Structure 1
């Protein structure tokens, strides 16, 4: 039988510290710091952070000074569970009400204000895990994502389940849950971008189509700039220009997405029976030395250490589950 541990209530000073420990550096203020009551339940797996926040009235700001001090670029998706608040970013603001979904970006200033007791659930994802043009995603910040239906309904249901027990992501299937969380959120953002007014920009729309094509053909050995360009009836020169406009290079993007797919599978205990190179070969890497070198350059560790860490986590989680 599993017993959920409820975090103790925090006073304002303790809550302010907990907020900064759970997210990126933020300025937390309150017109009513005494009495104040709040708690945060936080869990993390494979860079995906989940936080269940409950508190009385306060305000949160991500200021230019705090951004300059720590330039950690993440995308945050919040789901309001109870109470109401307001999110402001990029000249837009949206009402946070029960059931709503919203997105904000830690690389630019934003603010959140809650005028009473509330609960919300926040997913924080490294920006480089969002497989979409971030300049396009910036059009969705502080916008009412929950009105679109479709993917939004799926994401809302999934996040409600995670909010009921964020610690699930640290368990035996945590890596798969973290991956599913990112993929569902990216699906939601893709749906929103498809209906956004900016989608009328043919150049941006073409770039998004190219990114989707790359994702769908990552395993193919001939996925090079010439092949990608031909598949979209454009010249390689235009393809390179599209990527340059979005701060990327074609070959670098393809390699990174393949490496990310390898990392996800190396971190999955269910695939521990497969060799490192059999997984790497699935994603176009045929030279062990080259694969190890580019993997370390991308993630700061060797492929084998990713696997060892994942197996150790799994063993520890399984041992705790039987205590």
Structure 2
């Protein structure tokens, strides 16, 4: 279910208070100051896709601050991303300031103070997600907060285009509840951040983590290929198969184990999706590279403790409550 809030129809003296309360409850506690006008136009719409909050905020000039006092009241462990859709904004954190124009985005950390200033009427796409969803070490991400990622080039351009499309379609019924879509967007963001790592100037463990982010993003986009192999993955990243296995071993898993886990997660998401209820279980498995129906059934039950058909039935019963 999408969430929509607007200050339209609210007495002018109450409009900004309503806005500050809405953004604080939707994201994290914030302190805000309005521009010079007595009335304040603001509109917030979006939804939570699993653990990822996806919202578009359109408003008159104002500034929001994540202060030490607000952090002391509640310090959820999240990253936020702001993509500028219209107008301009200035994000400040960790001694840096990113001036954002339409198409640009920047990332910031809710556990440390920051501010966002909108000097005029603007519209912003905001993502908020648990910090654990990014594979990069937190110390490395800290070096990338309040850094402008240009919307028209490289991987950051792909992220920008994806988010703009998401903003345009946020009310589309096919987007509602699409946890997989949100996860893919965060994975793509991780790739854009990893591209900023200077492998020559960072500790070896950081460069390995950044490489792992890129590899996992590649695997995510090739899960439907039943022939996907460690050799293919290593060759695509110009590393040896042995080094590939080492990267996953250091992360506490194996290449094949992680691929299987992600394929089963994708299958589980499809099995729980009402829009895919008519798809046969074998068809769902095949679309994620698991073409052997008997193997799918055994692996799924090992992973989730339920057979695919039982998992689908439980999901239907849960939605009916």
Q: Does residue 210 of structure 2 align to residue 208 of structure 1?
A: yes
Match for residue 269 of structure 2 among 264, 272, 277: 264
Under a length normalisation based on structure 1, what TM-score does the superposition of the two structures give? 0.68
Does the Cα contact within 8 Å between 1:12 and 1:33 map onto a contact in 2? Answer: no
Structure 1 unpaired stretches of 5+ = 244-248, 295-301, 314-323
Does the Cα contact within 8 Å between 2:68 and 2:113 map onto a contact in 1? Answer: yes
Match for residue 307 of structure 1 among 286, 291, 315: 315
CA distance in 2 between partners of 1:91 and 1:232 (Å): 41
CA distance in 2 between partners of 1:159 and 1:110 (Å): 22
The aligned residue for residue 79 of structure 1 is 83
The aligned residue for residue 123 of structure 2 is 119
Between Structure 1 and Structure 2, how many residues are aligned?
A: 290
Match for residue 88 of structure 1 among 88, 92, 108: 92
CA distance in 1 between partners of 2:163 and 2:289 (Å): 34
**Matched ranges for 1:247-286 at <5 A:** 249-250=252-253, 254=258, 260-261=265-266, 263-272=268-277, 273-274=279-280, 286=298
Q: CA RMSD in A?
A: 4.4
Match for residue 160 of structure 1 among 148, 164, 169: 164
CA distance in 1 between partners of 2:269 and 2:137 (Å): 21
Q: Does residue 25 of structure 2 align to residue 25 of structure 1?
A: no
Distance 1:106 1:18, change over 3 A: same
The aligned residue for residue 13 of structure 1 is 17
CA distance in 1 between partners of 2:132 and 2:261 (Å): 10
Distance 1:7 1:29, change over 3 A: closer
The aligned residue for residue 319 of structure 1 is none
Does the Cα contact within 8 Å between 1:137 and 1:193 map onto a contact in 2? Answer: no
Cα deviation digits, residues 220-278 of structure 1 (max 9, x gap): 9xx9xxxx9x9444997x976x54xxxxx448x959757754543343335434559x9
The aligned residue for residue 291 of structure 1 is 303
Under a length normalisation based on structure 2, what TM-score does the superposition of the two structures give? 0.69
Distance 1:36 1:147, change over 3 A: closer
Structure (1/2) with the larger helix percentage: 1
Q: Does residue 149 of structure 2 align to residue 145 of structure 1?
A: yes
The aligned residue for residue 35 of structure 1 is 39
SS at 2:143 equivalent: helix
The aligned residue for residue 321 of structure 1 is none
The aligned residue for residue 184 of structure 2 is 183
Distance 1:84 1:275, change over 3 A: same
CA distance in 2 between partners of 1:93 and 1:305 (Å): 50
Shift, 1:286, TM fit? 3.8
